[in-house]
Amino acid sequence: TLPNLGTIQRVVIGHNNKGVGAAWHLASVSVLCIHTGQEVNFAYCGWLSKDDAPYKTEVELLPVAGGAQGPHAMCRYSVIVYTSDIRGAGTDAGVSCVLHGDKGSTPMLTLENSKNNFERGARDDFSVESADVGKLQKLQIGHDNKGAGPAWHLQHVEVVNHSTGARATFYADKWLDVKLGTTTLVIPATQADTAPTNNKWKLSVQTSDMRGAGTDADISVMLVGSKGSSQEIMLQSSADNFERNKWDEFVIDLSSMDIGDLTQLEIGYATKRSASGAVGGLFGKQWGLSHVEVMNVASGVKQVFLYDGWISKAKPRVLLLPGKASDKTTYAASHTPHFATCHLLTTSSRLSCGLIMQH
């Protein structure tokens, strides 16, 4: 028998992490006062474990919305952050976010539960508590630009409201880098049932088999479709991309952007370079590009963009049109915004288009 505690405002629950299989997945807690009939519900739906995120064996829970504190009750959110798997993507800076919903916004929420948060290719799980802001509409996320190597490439963020079970995904695929002019992003929510199914593309890039064809410079691509164009996207997956006679594969997720049917591909030196890419460009001053294969992951449709030429300071970027290796006509493309015009040049064994981009 416990003394009268009054209105229950929070509950602390956990385990001592002893015994075989100590990890525990807690769904929810209900507390009923038999004398008064007061019932309060607490949602968690997460692990209490030293081996699973968020790597703790005890948690403090607040009542779900509509419980003892009424419609403005506190609720718990899981914020799951995915750092991109590209060179230099990780950060040591402090990261924080704000959740915006149709009922309001949270205060600034610090995202930290380990000394090694936000490493390259990592998933970081955070548990935060705030007033229920309703249906999530957008996410503000950024860093304080502190620490060694503060620049950060964010892939996407998932947020779960444990009071309602609602989940929202926020796709970024962008650098947060003060040198590029931004350390904070505001990202609209993409609901799973409204996300386009044809937004993921697989790129296979072949560097030519010629002496000096490889490069350590930053390479980027822009996909141009019948409904629009993607932003400039860095192509990085390892420290040894774009070596001589090597195939490099990348998966590009355009999230909620539907570019339609792919009509053109712009590729070349990145217009905004990372520090490592700038140093690498000093040694590999040109890049021999053979061709690029692009496949729409949803439909399986594959297109080939042939070039078989050099990317250099004089020709930093090229705009390519799709063709087939069996085609016998070679074209060069001249560029105006949103479309390219092709002029017949010679006859050969392949189709190729190129454009010198002026910046």
pLDDT digits (tens, 9 = 90+) for 72-81: 456 889 999 9
Beta partners for residue 251, in sequence order: 202
For residues 293 and 309, give the distance between their C-alpha atoms in angstroms, rounded to a whole number: 16
* 237-247 pLDDT tens trace: 755 789 999 99
- Which is nearest to 145 in space by CA: 108, 115, 98, 182? 182
CB 159 within 8 A of CB 77: yes
For residues 310 and 13, give the distance between their C-alpha atoms in angstroms, rounded to a whole number: 63
Residue 222 or residue 277, greater confidence: 222
For residue 220, name the pLDDT band (cuts at 50, 70, 90). very high
Is 351 buried (19+), middle (13-18) or exposed (0-12) by CB count in 10 A?
buried
Cβ neighbours for 116, distance < 8 A, ≥ 6 positions apart: 122
In order, the DSSP letters of 53-68 are TT-BSEEEE-PPTTBT
Give the whole-number percent of the chain exceeding pLDDT 90: 31
Residue 325, pLDDT score:
41
Pairing of strands 24-32, 219-225: unpaired
For residues 283 and 224, give the distance between their C-alpha atoms in angstroms, rounded to a whole number: 31
Residue 238, pLDDT score:
59
CB 321 within 8 A of CB 339: no
Residue 242, pLDDT score:
92
* Arithmetic mean of pLDDT over the chain: 78
Residue 321, pLDDT score:
93
Residue 79, pLDDT score:
94
Tokens of 185: 């992003």
Residue 173, pLDDT score:
81
* 318-337 pLDDT tens trace: 999 998 543 333 333 333 33
Phi-psi region at 183: left, alpha or beta (left = phi > 0; alpha = psi -120 to 50): alpha
* 260-312 pLDDT tens trace: 899 999 999 988 765 554 544 455 579 999 999 998 877 888 999 999 999 99
